[in-house]
Structure formats: structure tokens, C-alpha cells
Structure 1
Amino acid sequence: MNVEMQIQVKAKFVPKYEKGYPLIMKESILNGQDLQDEGTIIRLVDERNHFIAKGYFGKQNKGYGWLLTRSEHESINTEFFVKKIRQAFQNRQAFFENPETTAFRFFNGEGDGIGGIIIDYYDGHYVINWYSKGIYTFKEHVINALQQVVKVKSIYEKKRFDTKGQYVEDDDFVLGEQPEFPLLVKENGVQFAVYLNDGAMVGVFLDQRDVRRTIRDQYAKGKNVLNMFSYTGAFSVFAALGGATKTTSVDLANRSLPKTEEQFRVNGIDPDKQNIVVMDVFHYFKYAIKKNLRFDMVILDPPSFAKSKKFTFSAAKDYQNLLKETIQITEDHGIIVASTNCSTFDMKKFKQFIDGAFRESNERYRIREQFSLPEDFKTISEFKEGNYLKVVFIQKG
């Protein structure tokens, strides 16, 4: 049973929590030194000991835990998790009924009322991501609740326990009947080969679903497409299926080559007719400029942080320069799909990066459309950082 402890909040932070902010910030609490064991139930009070909300202690890069309920007498037990998971299921009913999409976000942390945990759905198989030792202490409650609410073929888990949210190596399988891998799932009718048992990444980022569909249905036809930081080539597959004349996928990881080839093959596309390059992406820009390579569409989706032998990339400080290099290899009237999952700046700031890059390049541009997280990645207005995805379709010239 999780122990309960009363924690006082500094006066200036009280209004923020009273308005529904869910993250327990280290700097906001007075007696944080009393917190020792992750998973402790936190009863948050003001300096006069008036109740504010109840949550749990769990260290992760974002803070000291998450608030779960504003009801003083609500217990954090299996019934609590059943209620939250059932609501998440009801909110995603349309996804369960769509045979063209069999992979999506089932439970999205604080957006669904429990920060520090996300659950993804892959054709009846569930993958739980735990972001702290604190939330992991509720594992039995969560798994029992999940099995009560939905029919489960199997459950896998990913532990991201260190304070930077990195993956903790362990056996991923929890229960159920293990599928044969690759497990084939669908997104808007396109197949993905996923591996739920293969470490932190299963093979596709589900938050880009709407962007991929838009590329396929509206932009790819007849285009020579470059996909930078391509991972397993999901954008390239959608572009090819949308009628792109050629796709080039560039990623530093050696495994990106066989993984991308596999994604093409499961969709009936000959990978030998596509261009898959294993290279430091930052070097590829210089290579493309030197060789005078130009593309009708460039998809630019770097991680928030990336490190190569000679260069460390941070989206917050380097994205604008990366865009300037992208502009150089984009045809006039071509499209740049600029994307970032960095949560430290908002869409307004991202558009300032875009504007700065084009001004410094002496090029004109116009924004065609923009995207944030799809509806299964539920967010709340009280925690704007949770809506991290920013994607802008830019036409050069």
C-alpha cells in the first residue's frame, strides 16, 4: 500500500495548482526533503494546511510527480485507475471501430488524468510506458484496471525511469499471448511492421499520423521527396504511396536501412527503387549542397536533441540554422515539412524560427497548413507543455 504524506506548497504556486496545473514542481514545495520513497501519495496543501489536491511522488525530468485528483477523500486504488482508463477508452471509441487504423495512443498521461504513464494500442496489444519509479509502484492497479476495461491480447512495458526519461533495459513482456514479430498494424490503410519487444522504440511514432496522411493525400504526387532523420522511413512510405517519383531517407542509425526496407516491403513497394542513406544527417546537408541535389519536398523532423561525432543538435537553439540548410536544397515552390517535438517552445516561437531562417536566406515563403497532436494524444489546456508537437507545411518562394 502506498504511504500518504502531506506536502506544503509555497504561496505563489498555490493559484497555479488550484487552476488545475498537474505537474508537482520541485521548486514549488516547502518540505520536499521529507519525500523519500517514490510512489508516496502526496496530499498537497497550502501554507495554512488547506487541501489543494492529491497526487504521487515520482521523479522524472519534468518534476517531482503528478496530481491525480482534487477530491480530498478519493483513494488512489484500482477503482481510480479503472475510472480513468474507462474514460480514455470511451474517448477513443472511434479509433477502436476504424479497421483502417489499428495503432494509436490509448492513454496519454496527464491529458487523460494520470501524468507519468502512457499506453499505446497495437491491434489488441498494449504497450505501457512508465516514466518514473513512482508511477511504476501502481503497476498492479494499472494492469488490473486495463484488463477490466478492454480485451487484452498482450501487455508490454517500457521503463523510462532515469531522470532524463531514458529507457531502462529489461524484459518488456508482461502478460498475455505474445504475437509473432513483426506485428503488422495499420494507419490510414498503410501497414507498419512493429516490434513491441525490441527496446524503447517499437518502429513508428504514432503522433505523426495526420501529417503522414496529409503528405500522402495532398502533397506527394509527382514529387522528389527527401526525408531527414527518417528512423524507419514512415514518412517515405506514405510519400511513395502518394505517388512520389522518388524518396530519399536519411538517418545516422545503421538499423534504419533494414528497418526502412522492411516498411517499404510490407506495403508492396520495392525498396531498391527508393534511396535509403545511412549517414550523419548534418553531413548529408553539406553533401547535397556540394552535389547540387534539390528536392521538391523535404521532411525535417529531428529529435529535440541529437548528437553526432562532431556536433550536438538542440532544437531550441539550432532548428533555425537547420532550416536554412534545408531551404538551400529545396526547389523553388517546393514544400518543407518542418516538425519538432521539443516542448520548451511553442508554435509561435517555432514560426519565428521559420521566419528567421527564410529572412536570413533571402527567400520568400508562405505557410500552407500546420498541425499539433492528433486527437488520441489528448492534452489539457492547464498543461500546455503536453501539446509538444508542432508541424508546419511551408512553401518556398
Structure 2
Amino acid sequence: MRQEISITVTDKAKAEFQRGFPLITKEALEDVEGLATEGAILELNDRQGRFLAKGYYGKQNKGYGWVLTRNKDEAINQAFIERTLKEAFGHRQGFFDDPSTTAFRLFNGEGDGFGGLTIDYYDGFYLLSWYSEGVYTFKDEVISALQNVADCRGIYQKKRFDTKGQYIEEDDFVAGERGEFPLIVKENGINFAVYLNDGAMTGIFLDQRDVRNALKEKYARGKTVLNTFSYTGAFSVAAAIGGAAKTTSVDLAKRSNSKTIEQFSVNGIDYESQDILVMDVFNYFKYAKRKELKFDVVVLDPPSFARSKKYTFSTSKDYTNLMKEAIAITEQKGLIVASTNSASFGMKKFKGFIEKAFKEEGRKYRIVEEFTLPADFRVRKEFKEGDYLKVLFVSLD
């Protein structure tokens, strides 16, 4: 039996919940420590005892849980989850109907009404990501609801939590049939090899789909393209298919080499005609300057936080300097694709990083295009923090 407790919220939090804010923060609650177990249903009341909302308790880096309903009498059970999933599926019907894209976000946490859980679709397979012990207590209801709502070839999961908020490795298979990996999915006609059973990452970040498509369709033809922090080379593949003269992929992880070769190969591209380097990106900037190398297009999509033997990178502190490094090896009239997935600041502050870099370098620039999350990554207007992706196509003047 799931625990249900009533919790009093502060006056400030009351106003936020009344506006539709979905995150239950530690500061919003008068007292919950020691009272609630992970997955407990929280009935949120104001100091006069009036009902505000109902959610669940699940500690993660963002907060203490998520609001699920503002109907006091609505039960949080499998039927509730099925209704929520059906609504989310309805919003993605256009993606299901598009044969050129067979991988997309099907359920985006609080954007679809159940924070702490995401569901991604990979050509008939479903990948559940759990972000707290609390949401994981709903596992059986979610899986049963998903099987009732969708025709699932197979279901996999990623548990993205432990006491330190890190990924826990275990058998990721949950139900249905086991996939044969790599599974080849399509994104705007491009093939990508993905693995649902191999650690925290699958091989492609689905939130960058529109950005890769813009690079392929508008900016890559005839250009030399440098893809830094390249992971499995998805931007490089998109650029090559878009007619790039040559791509250079740079990432510190040793696996990036074989993974990038694989992504080129599943698209019939000769990977030996491209440069794939296992190297610290910051060392590569020094190497490129020393060799007087310059590129028409530079892709900057660093992790929010990264550490190598010599360098520590934090987006909020170091993006301006990273941008300056990129400016130095970008051709005049070239393009920098500046990207961050950090949720700790908004687009205005990110643009400030770019402006500061160009000002300190004494250079002029234009932002020719900008992106946030694609349509399948639904966000709520009451929770702008959920729209974490910020991408700017910056032209050097």
C-alpha cells in the first residue's frame, strides 16, 4: 500500500503551485524529512489546511518530487498513468506517422504530467528513464500502462539515480522481446546505430534532432566542419550527408572512435575520408592554432560539466572561454554552432556568454538561427527550467 501524507507548504510555494508550478522543492515544504518514504503520495495544503495539489515524493537533484494532479479526489494509480500516457501519445502522432524519423521522445516528464520519468521511442522499442527512487516505485504501474496503451516490441529502462545521482548499471531489459543491437533508427532520413542495453547513453541525443537537420540542410554543403565533444559523431554524420567537404570529430573518450566509425558506416559513408580524433578538445584547440587550421563550421556541444587530466570545464563558468577558443579557429564569415544543455541558466544568459567572448576578441557576429527543445520534448509554460536546451548558430562577421 502506497503511503499517503498531508504536507503543509509555505505561503510563497502556495502561490507557485496555484500558478501551476510542478516541482516540489525542499523549500516549499514546512516539513517532510523523515515523514515520507520514496514514492509516497503527498497531499499539499496551505497553512489554513486548504488543498492545493497532489504529487509524489521522490528526491533528485531538482527537488523533492512532482505535482501530478490538482484534483483532490483523483487517485494516482495505473489508470491515471494510462490516461497520462494516452494524452502524450496523441501529441506525438505526427512523429509516428513520419517514416523518415523512427526515434523520438514519447513522454517528457513534467512536460507530459509526470515529472521524473521520460520515455523514448526507438523503432518499436521503448526506453524508460527513471530519475529518482520515488518515481521508480511506480515501475509496475507504468510498464503495465505502457503495454496497454502501446504495441511494444520490447521495453528497456535506465535507472539514472543512486545516492549521488549517478547512473546505476544493471540489466536494462524489462519486458517484451530483447532487441538486437545495434538497432538502426532513422532521424530525418539519417541512420543512427543505438544501443538500449549498454550503459547510460544510447548513442544519440534525441533533443538535437532539429539542430542536426538544420546543419545538414542549410549549413554543411561544401564546408569543412569541426565537431568538438563529438560523442558518437552524430553532428559529423549529419554534416557529411549534407554535403560537407570534410568533417573532423574530436572527443576524449576512447569509445568515440569506434562509435563514430559505426555511425558513418551505417550511412554508407567512407569513414577513412573523415578525421576522427581521440583527443582532449582543449588540446586540440592548441594543436589547431599551432598548425594554423581553420574550419568553416565549428560545433560546440560540451557536457555541462567535464573533467580531463589537465582541464575542468563547467558551462556556467567556462563557456565564454570555450567560445573564444572556437572563434580563433573559425574562418572569417564562418559559423559556430554554440550549444548547451545546462538547465542552470536561460537563453538570455547564454547569449551573454557569446557576446562577451566576441567582445573580448574584438570581433563582430550575428546570431542567424536559434533552437530550444524540439516539439516532442514537451515543456510546460509554468516550468521554463524544463526547456534546458539552448543552441545558437553564430555567424562571424
TM-score, normalised with respect to structure 2? 0.99
1:189-338 equivalences under 5 Å are 189-338=189-338
Q: One-letter code of the match for 2:358?
A: F
**Alignment-derived partner of residue 352 in structure 1:** 352
**Alignment-derived partner of residue 148 in structure 2:** 148
Q: One-letter code of the match for 1:127?
A: L
Q: One-letter code of the match for 1:276?
A: I
| Aligned mates of 1:376, 1:200 — CA distance in 2 | 21
The more displaced of 23-32 and 368-377 is 23-32
**Alignment-derived partner of residue 161 in structure 2:** 161
Matched-pair contact (CA < 8 Å) for 1:11–1:46? yes
**Alignment-derived partner of residue 50 in structure 2:** 50
| Aligned mates of 2:381, 2:166 — CA distance in 1 | 27
SS in 2 for 1:374: coil
Please list the CA deviations of residues 315-337 of structure 1 after superposition, one character each: whole Å capped at 9, or x if unmatched: 01100110001000000000000
Please list the CA deviations of residues 290-336 of structure 1 after superposition, one character each: whole Å capped at 9, or x if unmatched: 11110000000001111111221110110011000100000000000
**Alignment-derived partner of residue 93 in structure 1:** 93
| Aligned mates of 1:166, 1:108 — CA distance in 2 | 20
What count of residue pairs does the alignment treat as equivalent? 397
Q: One-letter code of the match for 1:100?
A: S
The more displaced of 33-42 and 64-73 is 33-42
Deviation at 1:34, TM superposition (A): 3.7
Q: One-letter code of the match for 1:155?
A: I
Matched-pair contact (CA < 8 Å) for 1:35–1:57? no
| Aligned mates of 2:91, 2:164 — CA distance in 1 | 30
**Alignment-derived partner of residue 69 in structure 1:** 69
| Aligned mates of 2:87, 2:133 — CA distance in 1 | 25
Deviation at 1:162, TM superposition (A): 2.5
Q: One-letter code of the match for 1:212?
A: R
The more displaced of 304-313 and 370-379 is 304-313
Structure 1 residue 386 corresponds to structure 2 residue 397:
no
Matched-pair contact (CA < 8 Å) for 2:5–2:36? no
**Alignment-derived partner of residue 8 in structure 2:** 8
| Aligned mates of 1:33, 1:322 — CA distance in 2 | 41
SS in 2 for 1:216: helix
Please list the CA deviations of residues 154-201 of structure 1 after superposition, one character each: whole Å capped at 9, or x if unmatched: 000000123554211111000111121110000000000001100100
Matched-pair contact (CA < 8 Å) for 1:60–1:162? no
| Aligned mates of 1:164, 1:327 — CA distance in 2 | 36
SS in 2 for 1:214: helix
| Aligned mates of 2:95, 2:331 — CA distance in 1 | 38
Which consecutive unaligned segments of at least 5 residues does structure 2 have? none
**Alignment-derived partner of residue 25 in structure 2:** 25
The more displaced of 155-164 and 121-130 is 155-164
Q: One-letter code of the match for 2:343?
A: S
Q: One-letter code of the match for 2:92?
A: R
| Aligned mates of 1:59, 1:222 — CA distance in 2 | 49
Matched-pair contact (CA < 8 Å) for 1:289–1:328? yes
| Aligned mates of 2:227, 2:26 — CA distance in 1 | 39
**Alignment-derived partner of residue 125 in structure 2:** 125
Which consecutive unaligned segments of at least 5 residues does structure 1 have? none
| Aligned mates of 1:208, 1:164 — CA distance in 2 | 27
Matched-pair contact (CA < 8 Å) for 1:61–1:163? no
**Alignment-derived partner of residue 82 in structure 1:** 82
| Aligned mates of 2:39, 2:72 — CA distance in 1 | 18
Deviation at 1:2, TM superposition (A): 1.1
| Structure 1 outlier segments of 4+, above 6 Å | none
Please list the CA deviations of residues 359-384 of structure 1 after superposition, one character each: whole Å capped at 9, or x if unmatched: 10011101111000000000001111
TM-score, normalised with respect to structure 1? 0.99
| Aligned mates of 1:232, 1:35 — CA distance in 2 | 44
| Aligned mates of 1:371, 1:101 — CA distance in 2 | 19
| Aligned mates of 2:14, 2:163 — CA distance in 1 | 25
SS in 2 for 1:309: coil
| Aligned mates of 1:34, 1:130 — CA distance in 2 | 23
Q: One-letter code of the match for 1:266?
A: V
SS in 1 for 2:376: coil
Deviation at 1:13, TM superposition (A): 1.6
Q: One-letter code of the match for 1:314?
A: S
Please list the CA deviations of residues 61-111 of structure 1 after superposition, one character each: whole Å capped at 9, or x if unmatched: 001010100000100000000010000100000000110000000000000
| Aligned mates of 2:224, 2:171 — CA distance in 1 | 41
| Aligned mates of 2:196, 2:35 — CA distance in 1 | 34
| Aligned mates of 1:56, 1:78 — CA distance in 2 | 14
Matched-pair contact (CA < 8 Å) for 1:60–1:164? no
